[in-house]
């Protein structure tokens, strides 16, 4: 009997077939290494981690409605910085930040125009001196 070299499904080389496993022709080396046992399973794409937790998403929905009411009650800029202010409030400045419960605490909100809000964020020392920002750590 004359044996012919055939294409091994494991390594892809022309070799003598040693074993036929599940319809795959394998050479002696691939048969011993367990190539026949390996089956390529399609991997499911992992969901990316959400940038916000479900709790924070609910808080931001509440914040959005409270913000509209707050700006409706205070249509004029409360910072009113000379030479900068546009007079009509469009933003809510959080004097102590937006971390945790401070997001919904109206006591620390300030109704400001975009120009004044930018100035407050870019000049933290002066904003703290004027009372537009408060220290976050007490």
- pLDDT value of residue 39: 54
Domain count, the chain: 2
Q: In this predicted model, what pLDDT tens digit does every residue of 15-38 receive, in sequence order?
A: 888 888 777 888 888 877 765 555
| 12: containing domain | 1-37
Question: pTM higher than 0.75, yes or no?
Answer: no
Separation of alpha carbons 23 and 39, rounded Å: 13
Least Cα distance to 79 among 114, 125, 124, 122 occurs for: 114
Extract the tokens encoding 68. 């509209």
* 88-92: average pLDDT: 96
Separation of alpha carbons 44 and 2, rounded Å: 46
* 53-82: average pLDDT: 96
- Looking at the structure, do residues 90 and 24 belong to the same domain, yes or no? no
* 56-80: average pLDDT: 96
Determine, yes or no, domain membership for 110: yes
- Looking at the structure, do residues 23 and 76 belong to the same domain, yes or no? no
- Looking at the structure, do residues 82 and 113 belong to the same domain, yes or no? yes
Residue 41 reports pLDDT greater than 70: no
- Looking at the structure, do residues 109 and 74 belong to the same domain, yes or no? yes
Residue 49 reports pLDDT greater than 70: yes
- Looking at the structure, do residues 22 and 72 belong to the same domain, yes or no? no
């Amino acid at each position: 009997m004359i044996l012919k070299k055939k294409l091994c499904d494991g390594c892809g080389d022309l070799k003598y077939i040693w074993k036929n496993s599940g319809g795959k022709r394998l050479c002696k080396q691939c048969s011993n290494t367990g190539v026949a046992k390996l089956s390529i399973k399609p991997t499911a794409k992992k969901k990316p981690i959400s940038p916000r937790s479900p709790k924070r998403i609910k808080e931001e929905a509440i914040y959005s409605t409270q913000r509209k009411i707050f700006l409706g009650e205070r249509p004029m800029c409360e910072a009113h910085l000379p030479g900068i202010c546009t007079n009509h409030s469009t933003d809510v400045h959080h004097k102590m930040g937006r971390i945790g419960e401070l997001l919904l605490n109206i006591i620390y909100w300030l109704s400001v125009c975009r120009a004044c809000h930018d100035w407050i964020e870019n000049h933290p020392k002066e904003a703290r001196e004027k009372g537009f920002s408060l220290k976050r750590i007490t």
